[in-house]
Amino acid sequence: MNNLTEWLRLNFRVCLSATLMIEAAIGLVPQLRGCNLPSVVGGMQDLQYHSAALAALYFVLSFWLILGIRTSVVAAMAMALLVIPAIMTNPDGDPALAVKITLVSVFAVPLILYGGGRYSLYEVHEVMNLRSPKAEEA
């Protein structure tokens, strides 16, 4: 059972990183903004510098997620940086973007709670980790 959760966390990391990388590509390559992809940075036409900075942050966070560097903190930052701008730039709502926000939440919440797992490059035992050290000693 433990191997299954390790693989699930690895797959959640890869899926969240792929979502961030797609957002970064849409933000950094202007030709991709005309595609019919639901995008957070695609809805920021008037804010060109903001969308470029946000796309660069998405790229860095996706790279850190793939490597598994501080997975809990990076997943929380990625979720916040995807959900908050999506809500603020689309106050009327977009159903396709709502699906993307839901998927990002599904991928990020287990990573925030349990960390990146065995296949992480650098992981610490954060406060939010639900396993206690006393249970591991016994």
pLDDT tens for the chain, 138 residues: list them: 677 888 888 999 999 999 999 988 888 887 776 777 777 776 676 777 788 889 899 999 999 999 988 899 999 999 999 999 888 888 787 888 888 899 999 999 999 988 887 777 776 655 555 555 565 565
- With beta carbons less than 8 A apart as the criterion, state whether 104 and 79 touch: yes
In a 3-state reduction of DSSP, which class is residue 69? strand
- Tell me the two tokens of residue 8: 């699930």
- pTM for the whole structure: 0.81
Burial (Cβ within 10 Å: 0-12, 13-18, ≥19) of residue 55: buried
Q: How many CB atoms lie within 10 A of CB 109?
A: 14
